[in-house]
Homo-oligomer: A and B are copies of this chain.
Amino acid sequence: MTRTLDVADLVERAARADPRAVARLISLVEDASPALREVMAALAPATGSAHVVGLTGSPGVGKSTTTSAVVTALRHNGSRVGVLAVDPSSPFSGGALLGDRVRMQEHALDPQVYIRSMASRGHLGGLSWSAPQALRVLDGAGCDVVLVETVGVGQSEVEVAALADTTVVLVAPGMGDGIQAAKAGILEVADVLVVNKADRDGAESTVRELRHMLALGSPRAPGDWRPPVIATVASSGQGVDELMGALAKHREWLQVSGAGRTRRLARASAEIEAIALRVLRSRLADVPRGEGLDALAAQVADGATDPYGAADVLVEALTTKQG
């Protein structure tokens, strides 16, 4: 078992930005280690201060380059930065993937930048289980900003938005991309829209199109956040200052409006629920025979009862047992 772990020591080292301690803690998350209870309890007092920024967009829009440019800008301000790259389609995880990306390598040796890639598929419980806890580790380890980069495929934009304080949606120039964005519902989750590779043809019209679509969207009350559309060339740094300004402005708005608190409460609530369901699931397996899953499954297979009736028996056995 993992009982040789000195959790207090690991957490203390992580708080001092020891990258190996941070790596070890995130591995515990990936392995759904029983030690996580102790880890999270030890981290709790230190959490809640990081600004979590999600970056998402289709493959090829320049997410890694933009992430890297944002990291550079944050380091200029002296911020400690965590980067979590989530690939919802890859069964592979580990620290190597992102390190391979040329653009991120310039930060690979900076002890104030912690970079990690995670796979969401094949993961125990998926992204919704592991990512919030990994964020909690980076937050507790004293990162001022945590960037969550994810490939925009299907629902992942919505998932990343649920994790982040501020969601940046990246788009590449070209007719129809804005329409794609609207179709996929990503305009609704974007706090900041970035048209990257803005030195390419069609960038201006894409910016215009996105602004138009945002204006057509649901009418906003005074004091609501209006997502800016920013043109960048992340590879040369063009527009990055403007992006940093938008991130800072959104963070301020989150605090002043109370929206940040609302988002964090929703996040904490989802996290607690996911863990509670996991606990309940393991308890379901422990319900004694007779009222247990095996016996009920046999009744269902024989047509003696139906899955709903069987589930009721199981739930009652679980919720009244300890009374």
Contacts and interface: CB of A to CB of B under 8 A. Distances in A.
A44 interface: yes
Interface stretch (A72-80, A212-220, A295-303): A295-303
A27 interface: no
A94 interface: no
A47 B121 contact: no
A297 B275 CA distance: 13
B308 A37 contact: yes
A308 B265 contact: no
A297 B280 contact: no
Given A48-B301, A154-B121, A268-B307, A312 B41 contact: no
Interface residues of A, number: 62
The 3 A-B pairs at the shortest CB distance, nearest first, are namely A323-B323, A275-B311, A40-B306
Interface stretch (A60-68, A233-241, A313-321): A313-321
Copies per complex? 2
Contact of A302 (B48, B298, B309): B48
Given A43-B306, A268-B297, A279 B315 contact: yes
Given A36-B308, A154-B121, A273 B268 contact: no
Contacts of A255: none
A89 interface: yes
B276 A311 contact: yes
A194 interface: no
A281 B277 contact: yes
A44 B269 contact: no
A175 interface: no
A271 to B, nearest CB: 4
